[in-house]
């Protein structure tokens, strides 16, 4: 009788196990590297104890062990154990084409980072654009990776959305349309110090789903959306709305005016563009939102032309009766290298005239490339400026330090400057061509 119950239980357990594995396919057979090919560098890949073991080799480029098959939409899971001194990654939707990136592999890389920086699960565009989603945007995920033991990575690539988890903790959420499909690969980083040669990265239990995909529930972490003038479902869930629709002037008007300026701006190809002007034409055609905001998180993309000057102002009240540009706190948009009026407190992403930005070189892009700006103002008046995913300015509206800065600036002539309870958002026309897109906002309660 006991044997009968045991056999029944075994059958039930087997059925449950089979159901749990339904839809998954192993990418690694545990015996050899069938289905995989090595690209670029000469690091060593071999199979030991049902694991893929990668070993670093001195003075060779990044080495990839790539799937022979390409994948578009999928859910991938893998376990990794990395030497604590080594950086590594899992490539997804990646490519290798002659004539591009010196013929080396490139594409989305899910970071494996045991260092103190702790960017594991972040998304890096290897060989192309650099960081797309690092963990300064989601610092709660920095503790997800556990050094010295196996860690489980999960990657969901569905449509334009790429999401990652490390040991079940949400790490990155990227919306990007650059590459819809490509190979999956395991990376061994290049090393140029002798003491880093011979280090190992190990992978196991690599499996994939490609049919009847069901995305994980939304979680609320920060979303980087590189598809212009769009909102993803999680951004909507997170409370975002578009402040500019990408097509019309709806929701905007000229500063100190009741309608949108007839000259000085144009809408083209999903961009809101300040038209370059000079001499007598260089009038301040600033535009403001019809809505007013207090505590908020504002995101916007902007692109500079050489020597250009502009800005995004906030808490604009239009109460100063100023003949020039409307007054407000300003996120400076500026070509630091070519504009003649460069000074410390006027640099890109500074709080104009008041607080200089952190000069983080990783936050800087070349003139002509799109930048992602963000302004956060919390209910307690703490405010932040972000540039391409890095916080570069922090201050508190109305604090003693803030007031002392205002007192020695050109803003000292305006009573209660920068401390209004609410105000409009302003895009500045400074006579230089600057483009905006993907302007979106959420209120912070």
Residue 223: inside a domain: no
Quick check: is 232 in a domain?
A: no
Strand order through the sheet with 252-254 = 252-254, 287-289, 424-427, 309-316, 329-334
Same domain flag for 272 and 182: no
With a cut of 70, which residues of the chain have pLDDT below it? 1-21, 279-284, 322, 339-345
* Residue 393: predicted pLDDT: 97
Do 169 and 84 fall within a single domain? Answer: yes
Structural domain includes residue 53: yes
Return the HEC string of the chain: CHHHHHHHHHHHHHHHHHHHHCCCEECCCCCCCCCEEEEECCCEEEEECCEEEEECCECCCCEEEEECCCECCEEEEEEEEECCCCCEEEEEEEECCCCCHHHCCEEEEEEECCCCCCCCCCEEEECCCEEEECCCCCHHHHHCCCCCCCEEEEEEEECCEEEEEECCEEEEEEECCCCCCEEEEEEECCECCHHHCCCEEEEEEEEEECCCCCCCCCCCCCCEECCCCCCCHHHHHCCCEECCCCCCCCCEEECCCCCCCCCCEEEECCEEEECCCCHHHCCCCCEEECCCECCEEEEEEEEECCCCEEEEEEEECCCCCCCCCCCCEEEEEECCCCCCCCCHHHCCCCECCCECCCCCHHHCCCCCCEEEEEEEECCCCEEEEEECCEEEEEEECCCHHHHHHHHCCHHHHCCCCCCCCCEEEEECCCCCCEEEEEEEEEECC
Is residue 397 situated within a structural domain?
yes
pLDDT of residue 8: 44
| pLDDT at residue 19, as a whole number | 40
Bridge partners, residue 372, by sequence:
301
The token duo for 212 is: 């009847």
Question: Looking at the structure, do residues 271 and 188 belong to the same domain, yes or no?
Answer: no
Q: Look up tokens 């970071």; give the residue.
A: 111
Does some domain include residue 383?
yes
CATH number at residue 299: 2.60.120.560
- Asked if residue 264 and residue 173 are part of one domain, the reply reads no
- Nearest Cα neighbor of 423 from 323, 306, 330 is 330
Same domain, 254 and 187: no
pTM: 0.91
Q: What is residue 327's predicted lDDT score, i.e. its pLDDT?
A: 94
Burial environment of residue 11 by CB neighbours within 10 A (0 to 12, 13 to 18, 19 or more): exposed
**So what's the pLDDT on residue 13?**
41
Note whether 245 and 198 are same-domain residues: no
* Residue 222 lies inside a defined structural domain of this protein: no
What's the total number of domains in the chain? 2
Asked if residue 254 and residue 192 are part of one domain, the reply reads no
Query: What is the C-alpha to C-alpha distance for residues 175 and 238, in angstroms, rounded to an integer?
Result: 15
Closest by CA to 65, choosing from 90, 98, 85, is: 90
Phi/psi class of residue 159: alpha, beta or left (left: φ > 0; alpha: ψ in -120 to 50)? left
Do 201 and 245 have their domain in common?
Answer: no
Say if residues 311 and 288 touch (Cβ distance below 8 Å).
Answer: no
Integer Cα distance of 421 and 412 in angstroms = 19
For the stretch 413-434, pLDDT in tens is: 999 999 999 999 999 998 899 9
For residues 369 and 387, the answer to whether their CB atoms sit within 8 Å is no
Q: Quick count: other Cβ atoms within 10 Å of Cβ 152?
A: 14
Q: Using alpha carbons only, what angle is made at residue 299 by residues 145 and 384, rounded to the nearest 5 degrees?
A: 70
Domain that holds residue 205: 23-209
Instruction: Confirm if 337 and 364 have CB atoms less than 8 A apart.
Output: no
158: nearest Cα among 210, 88, 97? 210
Same domain, 322 and 410: yes
Asked if residue 171 and residue 287 are part of one domain, the reply reads no
Quote the pLDDT of residue 102.
83
Which residues does 434 contact at the CB level (< 8 Å), separation at least 6? 273, 274, 302, 303, 304, 305, 308, 310, 333
């Amino acid at each position: 009788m006991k044997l009968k119950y045991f056999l029944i239980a075994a059958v039930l357990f087997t059925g449950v196990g089979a159901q749990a594995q339904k839809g998954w396919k192993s990418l690694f057979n545990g015996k050899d590297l069938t289905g995989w090919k090595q690209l670029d560098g000469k690091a060593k890949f071999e199979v030991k104890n049902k694991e893929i073991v990668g070993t670093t080799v001195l003075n060779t480029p990044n080495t990839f062990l790539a799937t022979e098959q390409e994948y578009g939409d999928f859910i991938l899971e893998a376990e990794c154990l990395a030497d604590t001194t080594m950086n590594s990654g899992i490539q997804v939707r990646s490519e290798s084409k002659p004539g591009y990136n010196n013929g080396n592999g490139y594409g989305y890389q899910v970071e494996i980072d045991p260092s103190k920086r702790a960017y594991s699960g972040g998304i890096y565009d290897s060989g192309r654009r650099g960081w797309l989603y690092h963990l300064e945007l989601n610092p709660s995920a920095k503790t997800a990776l556990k050094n010295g033991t196996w860690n489980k990575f999960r990657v969901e690539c569905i449509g334009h959305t790429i999401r990652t988890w490390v040991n079940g903790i949400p790490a990155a959420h990227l919306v990007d349309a650059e590459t819809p499909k490509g190979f999956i690969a395991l990376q061994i980083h290049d090393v140029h110090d002798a003491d880093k040669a011979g280090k190992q990265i190990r992978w196991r239990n690599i499996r994939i789903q490609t049919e009847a995909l069901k995305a994980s529930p939304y979680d609320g972490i920060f979303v980087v959306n590189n598809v212009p003038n769009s909102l993803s479902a999680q951004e909507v869930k997170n409370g975002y709305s578009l402040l500019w629709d990408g097509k019309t002037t709806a929701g905007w008007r000229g500063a100190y005016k009741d309608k949108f300026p007839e000259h000085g701006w144009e809408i083209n190809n999903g961009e809101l563009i300040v038209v370059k002007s000079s001499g007598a034409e260089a009038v301040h055609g600033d535009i403001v939102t019809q809505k007013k905001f207090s505590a908020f998180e504002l995101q916007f993309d902007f692109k500079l032309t050489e020597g250009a000057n502009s800005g995004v102002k906030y808490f604009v009240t239009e109460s100063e009766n100023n003949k020039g540009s409307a007054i407000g706190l300003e996120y400076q948009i500026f070509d630091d290298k070519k504009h003649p009026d460069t000074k410390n407190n006027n640099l890109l992403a500074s709080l104009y005239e008041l607080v200089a930005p952190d000069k983080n070189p990783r936050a800087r892009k070349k003139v002509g490339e799109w930048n992602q700006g963000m302004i956060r103002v919390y209910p307690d008046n703490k405010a932040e400026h972000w540039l391409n995913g890095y916080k570069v300015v922090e201050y508190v509206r109305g604090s003693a330090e803030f007031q002392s800065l205002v007192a020695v600036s050109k803003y000292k002539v305006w009573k209660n400057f920068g401390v209004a309870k609410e105000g409009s958002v302003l895009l500045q026309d400074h006579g230089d061509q600057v483009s905006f897109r993907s302007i979106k906002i959420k209120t912070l309660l």
